[in-house]
Amino acid sequence: MTAHAPPVLRPDLDATQTRRLVSLVELQERFGFSERWWRYRIAEGMPTRKWVGGLRFNPDEVEAWLDSGSNSG
């Protein structure tokens, strides 16, 4: 008898849900504003991801955060 390994379960990735993370320069190109303005938003708690080459951002999360007014204080 041969032992069978259990199947590996992989969730189906919906292409609309997967989003490429972008750099700070790409955020500037997409939304505008200076690097200094973005650094202030990061300090205020804007959603970021730590990456090997530095910080990365999910543009959808950033846009939602900006729209929510989380940065107004």
pLDDT in tens, 22-39: 999 999 999 999 999 999
Q: Is residue 13 part of a domain?
A: no
User: How many structural domains does the chain have?
Assistant: 1
Q: Is residue 48 part of a domain?
A: yes
Quickly list H helices, 1-73.
Answer: 24-31, 35-43, 59-68
For residues 22 and 52, the answer to whether their CB atoms sit within 8 Å is no
Domain of 48 in residue numbering reads as: 24-68
d(CA 51, CA 24): 12
Q: Is residue 19 part of a domain?
A: no
Whether residue 18 has pLDDT greater than 70: no
Residue 37's pLDDT is 96
Q: Is residue 73 part of a domain?
A: no
d(CA 65, CA 71): 8
Residue 7's pLDDT is 61
Confidence tier at 10 by pLDDT (50, 70, 90) = low
Confidence tier at 4 by pLDDT (50, 70, 90) = low
Q: Is residue 17 part of a domain?
A: no
This prediction's pTM: 0.67
